[in-house]
Each structure stands twice: as structure tokens, then as C-alpha cells.
Amino acid sequence: MIKTTSILHAWTAIGGVAALAVVGEVLIAAAMRQLGDLDRIRERSGLPGAIRAVLSSPVFLAGALCMALNFFAMLYALSIVDLSLAAPAIASLTYVGNAVAAKLFLHENVDRRRWLAVLFVCVGVVLISR
């Protein structure tokens, strides 16, 4: 009984961390895509200008908030779940979620080689963490 609740607890934490990561990364990717080449912005208006350009994007701020929450959720998850389970589980879920979200919301051309890459990365991450 105690064990089942803790397993549920662990996977809720893992799922929550992954979901926050996906939302955060998609928002940040959308903001960056909107912004254009950051190297070119830096050439024109220097590092402060590039930082200002990034920070003035509301989409970026929303994404950064998600990533900050993700960071603390991750610290929390690592304290209740073994790193050897949490790290590959979170990473795999995040990769799959990112690919789906990038296709749906960012309209990226996720072709066969990218789906294959997502699959390989997921299996690879699980194997490498054994």
C-alpha cells in the first residue's frame, strides 16, 4: 500500500517535471524563433542589446517561468526518486513531448529522420542510465 502510493507519487513528480519542461521549451523556442538570429542582434547592439531583446519578449518570460518551476520541481523529484530512474524517465518523456509539441505548436517539419532520432534518443537515454 505504502509502496503503490510512493510509486504513484514518483511518477506524478516525473510527469510534472517533464510537462513543465515541454511547455517551457516550446514557449522559449517560439520566442527565439520570433526574435531571429541572436548572433546578428549581438553584432548590432552588443550583449546588453541581445539580453534586452530576449527579456522583452513576454512569450520568453512565460517560458522562463515554466523552466524555473521545472528546475525546482526537478530538485524535488530528485529528492524522492532515484536519479537512475528520474533522469532517464524525465529526459525520455521530455524528448517525446517536445517533438509532438514542436510539430503541433511550432509547426516544425518533424520528418521521419527526426521521429527516428526521438525514438533512438529515448531508448538510448534509458539504456545509458542503466
Residues in contact with other proteins by the rule CB under 8 A:
25-26, 28-29, 32-41, 53-54, 56, 67, 71-72, 75-76, 78-80, 83, 87, 91, 95, 98-99, 102-103, 106-111, 113-114, 116-118, 120-121, 123-130
Residue with smaller CB distance to other proteins, 15 or 42: 42
Shortest distance, CB of residue 128 to other proteins, whole angstroms? 3
State how far the Cα of 21 lies from the Cα of 66, in Å rounded to an integer. 7
Residue with smaller CB distance to other proteins, 11 or 71: 71
Residues 6+ apart with CB under 8 A from 32: 38, 54, 60
Per the CB < 8 A criterion, the answer to whether 18 and 94 are in contact is yes
Shortest distance, CB of residue 1 to other proteins, whole angstroms? 19
Residue with smaller CB distance to other proteins, 19 or 53: 53
Shortest distance, CB of residue 40 to other proteins, whole angstroms? 8
C-alpha cell at 42: 549581438
State how far the Cα of 27 lies from the Cα of 17, in Å rounded to an integer. 16
C-alpha cell at 66: 515554466
